[in-house]
Amino acid sequence: MHSITLEELASGSTSDAKWNAMQKYLVRTGELHNNVRMTWGKTVVSWASSLECESNLQRSDVVLKALCYLNDRFALDGLSPPSYAGIMWCMGWTDKPSMMASARYH
């Protein structure tokens, strides 16, 4: 599988047409609806193993750096705390185990 570069992400030239459309809309308008932004971010998270990575970085660090760069550069609200909260949500912040995960079966 080919590595996805930050340049490909920024220009919306990945192999995913839906994600490319979201990125190009963000570049053109500076905005993404919150639900669209969640899909946009979660898709990059799902590509973690395909992103170009410096050898000293964890994959989660690469994803976070990429999302922050894209968000800060192209989104009108890029530097706002709620915008960063959205990125962290995409990364799994505030996720809790399911109710069944803590159930003990005897």
Class of domain 6-92 (CATH, top level): mainly alpha
Q: What is the DSSP letter of 15?
A: S
- The pLDDT tens digits for 29-56 are 999 999 999 999 999 999 988 888 766 6
Pairwise CA distance, residues 32 & 38, whole Å = 9
Full-model pTM: 0.83
- The pLDDT of residue 106: 53
